[in-house]
Structure 1
Amino acid sequence: MEEAPILLVLTNHAKLGDSGKLTGFFLSEAAHPYEVFTENGNPVTLASPKGGFAPLDPKSFDLKDEANASFWKKFGNGDEKKPGVEKTIALSEVDTKAYGAIFFAGGHGAMWDFPDSESLKKVTVSIYEDNGSVGAVCHGPAALVNVKLSDGKLLIAGKKTAVFTNSEESAVKLSETVPFLLQDSFEKAGATVETAEDFSENAVRDGRLVTGQNPASAKKAAELLLEALEKAE
């Protein structure tokens, strides 16, 4: 049997608030899941809210990591001044019936363009309500903050989750820079946020929803997404 195709979603947002610094997607949070998915035989399509260029968070540019180096060689634009992935498909152009799962990579950029993207919300609901699986890691869960299912309930309400914590945001000194705190928003939405020590591996699966706390959790979150896909068959 062919393995289910997976959408891997990257942010289009490059400005770190008013700090004057650059952000984008976190390389390992795309590269490690990509490696897990493709090694399992799942075809992967790179997407973003707007399509086109997906900027890389310069702080995540670590090519000593083999998965990062492989992903960058395959998709990176090779531009050190404006690093990123030049070509992603816009979520508005996605045929959701072609995918068994969607996975949101993190990076602080996601905090700005993921939460209010209408196409992102529609694609997520469509895949989830068609018995598909939804995954996200680190700041990627920002995609799920405002996702309402057909019955009007928030997707994350009542779910066990893991997201980049208030403690971690404080540790990287960006609590005042981000538009909101991810842990707070999840708890306000009725999700249970299971936390681990700062920057240690922590990924949680609740049915067909998988979330991971930080970059160290990307591989585990991807593995749990495959588990969710397998159980949903």
Structure 2
Amino acid sequence: MTRISKILIALTSHDRLGDTGRSTGFYLPEAAHPWKVFTDAGYDVDLVSVRGGKPPVDGADTSDPIQRAFLDDAKIAAQLAATPRPQDIDAADYDAILYVGGHGTMWDFADDQVLAGLARDIYEADGVVAAVCHGPAGLVNIVLSDGTHLVDGKNVTAFTNGEEAAVGLTDVVPFLLQSVLEERGAKHIGAPNFEAHVVVDGRLVTGQNPASATGVAEAVVKTLAA
């Protein structure tokens, strides 16, 4: 029996923006717009979050019909109400994983070894690993079976140090994403602040900021079809 083609979207469970008193979470358009691309391409989409349950949402814009469609979709609504945890997921079920951004990811994606293991297993089974904006926080500690970091020697992009400074959060986030990716051996390729920018290196697809979310999803679909 042929397996249904599926893509896993990973979401943060962290809801506090450091000690600012402000809330955060996963950035809704960075989940909704890829979901639209994936489902239009015929893929089933599932959600996972670091701690499971109902993940915190940030950046919602109900004037955006794609975000409304995402939230109104019966399957997505049911999953958002009670997302599974990484340990509840079988990597063998998925062709790709997309790490969605939102500042919350900076506090919980990097240290989740089970989530990193899912991505490793998908990648080593010839699947695609993708991340957008702050989602690449999930990439920094993915170690392949040969002991190397997934991003080592790879061309990537992520929310840049310049963009973090532009939003005034350089001293709030626990680390600077661009810098840590570079420390892991990645070749970070940045574009001007907040411009759409997608980098593809084999089966690793990354996008710089929210404007890049649709392009990342389109690149994932293209890579899977290659």
Tell me which interval the TM-score lies in, with the shorter structure as reference length: over 0.9
What letter is aligned with 1:219? T
Which segments of structure 1 move beyond 3 Å, counting only runs of 4 or more? none
> How far apart are 1:73 and its partner, in Å?
2.1
CA contact 1:137–1:211 (8 Å) conserved in 2:
yes
SS at match of 1:103: strand
Task: Name the counterpart of 1:8.
Answer: 9
Alignment partner, residue 80 of structure 1: none
User: Secondary structure of the residue that 1:85 maps to in structure 2?
Assistant: helix
Q: 2:130 & 2:40 partners in 1: Cα distance?
A: 18
Residue 161 of structure 2: aligned partner: 166
State the partner residue of 2:37: 36
* Counterpart AA for 1:195: G
Q: CA deviation at 1:63?
A: 1.2
Residue 48 of structure 2 aligns to which amino acid in structure 1? Answer: A
1:208 maps onto 2:209 in alignment: no
Separation in structure 2 between the aligned mates of residue 71 and residue 228 of structure 1, nearest angstrom: 24
Match of 1:135 in 2: 130
Q: Cα offset for 1:127?
A: 0.6
Question: Which residue is 1:65 aligned to?
Answer: 64
Q: Which SS does the other structure have where 2:26 is aligned?
A: coil
Unpaired segments ≥5 residues, structure 2:
none
Matched, 1:224 2:223: no
Q: CA deviation at 1:229?
A: 1.1
- Separation in 2, partners of 1:92, 1:177: 29
Distance 2:44 2:183 in 1: 35
TM-score normalised to the size of structure 2? 0.95
Kept in 1: contact 2:99–2:131 (CA 8 A) = yes
Gaps of 5+ in 1: 78-83
Determine the structure 1 residue equivalent to 2:148.
153
Query: Secondary structure of 1:89's partner?
Result: coil
**One-letter code aligned to 2:71:** W
Alignment length, in residue pairs? 223
* TM-score, reference length from structure 1: 0.92
2:54 aligned partner: 53
Q: Secondary structure of 1:221's partner? A: helix
Is 1:146–1:154's contact at 8 Å kept on the other side of the alignment?
yes
Query: Residue in 2 aligned with 1:25?
Result: 26
* SS in structure 2 of the partner of residue 72 of structure 1: helix
Separation in structure 1 between the aligned mates of residue 32 and residue 209 of structure 2, nearest angstrom: 14
The separation in 2 between residues aligned to 1:89 and 1:67, in whole angstroms, is: 23
